[in-house]
Structure 1
Amino acid sequence: MPESNVFTVLKSFSENEIKSFRKFLNSPYFLKSNKQLRLFEILHRAGEQELGPEFRYKIFRKIYPGKIYKDSTIRNLISDLNRQLNEFMMLENFRNSGLDKQRYLNVERLKKDLPAFSINEGSYPIIDTGTDYKYFLNKHFLESYNFNFSITGRKVTKVKNIETELVYLEDSLKFLHLFYISQISQFYTTVRILQNTYDIQKIPDVILKMFKVLDPGSIKQVLADDDEYYFVVELYESMVNMYRNMEDTKYYYEYKECFYKYAFRVSADECSMHIVNLISYSTGKVSSGIEEFNNELFELIELTVKNKYYQNSNTEHLPHEYFRNYLLHGVRLKNFEWVNDFIHENYMKVHPADRENMKQLGFAYLNFNT
């Protein structure tokens, strides 16, 4: 219901997001009625209070003084505020979407027969958040827009011009290939994890056929060794090799080395994905009793916390599951000084809703084992 959803969303907002949403509602472009802003302020101050009949009546009296109470009126106002919250979250996501903005801008420009716009040519800041599948997909679209505009705009009249414009098409296809490789590689690892976890015997034929593209020769055939994005195929090849050869730890170490080498060149989402792969593999080896991976897992945990590899487009907080698992591994190693420091230094990084529980859980484990 919109009533409960409004409280849930507002509770999830940080202080900065609350301030931004207030500005959003105050904007003449978005504000449908001052009553929405008043409702927001009332609900924000209400905290955990439920939107029961009595509270809705109180809200109505504050927003519509002297009017005869109509429950449908206040419910409609709450529903409108809920739509504004969703609009705000969508725009905030878009505002921070990097190349997505340029892609949508160019769609509109091409509709108006205007040349494709490059962020590098305008007043937009250049946002380098590292590579990932979204980066490659957007770069594919942007280069294809450049090519299509040149062709349809009749700018190409000479052979030399055609050869120049074909570079756009070449780059477009290269980025499409990288997008394809990144997605197929991630799907492959997911299927391998499911196979190991649930002992799946039969994989659909289409999936198996698609995975054939992950042959090392196929992955690397498009890019030259000196291509600036060659590191992408190296990284994904090492990831796939680890999951293809789960029993041979050599491939784990090759994957880890490759990730350490290129982590600064990939996005936060990619870093988060790769570190989770390495931690999952190490956790499995620890569970199997392979002693060397106790230290491997500990190293990965420290690296994740230090470099904030837990942060991605879905969260800026340290997930409480990660906090608990990292804590338990420290206890398992009897590294109690580290556990104590870990709790004090990191419980505030957990989402506010789980923060206090994780802190108390941490000290409970520590006190029980010392």
Structure 2
Amino acid sequence: MTPINFKLVNLLNSFTPNEIKEFKKFISSGLYTSGRNYLPLLNYILKHKSKNQDNFQNGELLLKLNSGKKFSKQTLKNRFSELYKLGEEFLIYLGLKENKLEKDKLLLKMLIEKKLLPPFESKYKKIIRSVEKEKYYESKYESILLLHEQKMLFLKEKRRESELYDLYNETSQLRLCIYLISLFEIGFEYSLQEYADIRYDNNYLVDFLRNLSIDELINNFSDTDTIIYEITAMNYYLFKAFENSDMEEYYFKSHKIFSKLSHELNEEYRTLKFNQMIHYSIKKQNEGIKKFQYELFKLYNEKLDQGLFSDLQNKIYLSNNFRDYVYIGIAIKKFKWVEDFIKKYSKYLPEEFREDELKLSFAKLAIANKHYEKSLLSLENIKADNYLLYTDSSVLKLCCYYELGIFEEAFLELDKLKHYLRNHKEIPKIHFLVNNNFIQVYQKLLRCITKADKRDIGYLKKEYIENIQVTKSDWLLEKIEELNNC
């Protein structure tokens, strides 16, 4: 018995039917196989790989490979390994086949090495024009940098020193911007991690960025009309904003540059920058800065207007942002906008949780419009198979029960929520905190209203609302004020 090479099987499983056909042609080329015929082995594996076998039958395999000629088990293992290596070569071939720029860069490199200078010059001009016309993406200027380096080798060969020095200077400035952008992107990610209470000892990169004093240089960058300088400034300001939360002017400078350059950026990069600005605005909103609710609303609308809603199609519920759009629209009382958003964009939600998210969204909208019975109807039969769906729907039920005076149901639901929080350790600390704080305030509210005891009202407002993070804080404040004014 010959053990299956599972690396090889997994590699073959990753190929599409068309790629399998192409792979067969690939391994039939003597250029890659030195004349050895791997097709019988490949065909045998393709035929049997779905049968959940742990081993291949040697007798049948030997007949398939070479008309009954005996091979040692080690020889068969070697053939599997060789076929796997051919699979890796095929992946490289596919990557180059589908990436014209990478092929062009390799061609320029070989033209220089072979000192084929006239074809190099004409090819270089064509390639650099093509790359420069493309919208900005993260590796665009790294590609331009590599092309420039090839051009400098050409200029050295041609002894065109003046052009060489000019290109060297341009390339040096470009390299500076590429390095800075990379550092600011990494710094932003570390700032996000720190916000989530993830920290590292001796983080020299962050220390370096915090001690970097380049405001004047960056301000000069932002005043130019050179895209790479402006993108460098945009990333610097966004990093500084998140690193120094009180310095909101950095954020607004970054957003201004982004708005100016948006049409010059490709879809993936625009989505990345929108998400970073949204992270910052959520952070400011969580700090109690109300104007950032409107900034979030503005960002969401800009993002939708540009057709960037791939986040609504994310099949991982916890990473799908549909609920955030609904939340911010309700928070600033744009109820018609929320209704229109739900109707227009819910069709893009993954089917597996679309119905539940629709119910939850309409329940939130109904509560905002004080239609509590309607909200409870929407919350019926939600399959809460993750902590966000469960806690959101539970908190909404508690609000409805309170508003409708159904206090017995409120106490029962409160116990369910307490039990859920205790028994689900996967809930992130911040999410546990805001929901647990809601429980603490809500149960005191229930005690006040059911026992007609108002002694806790002032304490609640001061200690539990103004000084802690809590979900549904506006609703809780409103209910406390109502009791206080009775």
Q: TM-score, normalised by structure 2?
A: 0.56
Distance, in Å, in 2 between the alignment partners of 1:82 and 1:144 is: 35
Q: Offset of 1:249 from its aligned partner?
A: 5.6
Give the match for residue 418 of structure 2: none
For the structure 1 residues 342 and 77, does the alpha-carbon distance in structure 2 shift closer, same or farther, using more than 3 Å as the test?
A: farther
Question: Among the aligned pairs, what percent are the same residue?
Answer: 14
Mapped pair 1:141 → 2:146:
yes
Match of 2:85 among 72, 83, 86: 83
> Which residue identity is paired with 2:315?
H
1:130 aligned partner = 135
What residue in structure 1 maps to residue 257 of structure 2?
258
CA shift digits 1:147-198 (9 cap, x unpaired): 34333x3624xxxxx4343222122112212211221211221222232222
Contact 1:181-1:219 at 8 Å conserved across structures: no
State the AA in 1 paired with 2:159.
K
Q: How does 1:54-203 map to 2 (within 5 A)?
A: 54=56, 59-68=61-70, 70-97=72-99, 99-115=101-117, 116-117=120-121, 119=123, 121=125, 126=130, 128-132=133-137, 134-151=139-156, 153=157, 155-156=159-160, 162-198=161-197, 200=199, 203=202
Q: Does 1:360 align with 2:355?
A: no
Which residue of 312, 316, 339 maps to 1:321?
A: 316
Encode CA deviations 1:42-69: one digit per residue, 9 max, x unaligned.
5445564435114676555434443447
Other structure's SS at 2:159 match: coil
> Relative to structure 1, is the Cα distance of residues 43 and 322 closer, same or farther in structure 2, using a 3 angstrom cutoff?
farther
The one-letter code of the counterpart of 1:143 is H
Which stretch shifts more, 86-95 or 331-340? 331-340
Residues of 2 paired with 1:297 and 1:223: CA distance? 21
Contact kept? 2:187, 2:209, Cα under 8 Å: no
Distance in 2 (CA, whole Å) between partners of 1:50 and 1:214 is 61
Q: Give, in whole Å, the separation in 1 of the partners of 2:171 and 2:24.
A: 41
Rate the CA distance shift 1:134–1:296 in 2: closer, same or farther, 3 A. same
- Structure number with greater CO (CA < 8 Å, separation at least 6) is 1
Q: Which residue of 2 aligns with 1:242?
A: 241
In 2, are the aligned partners of 1:106 and 1:117 still within 8 Å (CA)?
no
Structure 1: gaps (5+ residues): 157-161, 311-317, 348-358
1:273 and 2:309 aligned: no
CA distance in 1, matches of 2:229, 2:236: 11
Worse overlay, 324-333 or 172-181: 324-333
Partner of 2:226: 227
Q: Match of 1:79, as an amino acid?
A: S
More deviation, 63-72/182-191: 63-72
CA drift of 1:269 comes to 5.2
Which shifted more, 21-30 or 219-228? 219-228
Name 1:11's counterpart in structure 2.
13
Change (3 A) 1:76 1:366: farther
d(CA) in 2 for partners of 1:78 and 1:171? 50
Question: Residues 136 and 175 of structure 1 are in contact (CA less than 8 Å); yes or no, is this contact kept in structure 2?
Answer: yes
Aligned AA (2:78): N
Q: Is the 8 A contact 1:185 1:240 kept in 2?
A: yes
Return 5+ residue gaps in structure 2 as ranges.
Answer: 331-337, 364-377, 379-486
Name the amino acid aligned to 1:4. F
Distance in 2 separating the partners of 1:364 and 1:32? 58
Q: For the aligned residues, what is the CA RMSD?
A: 4.4
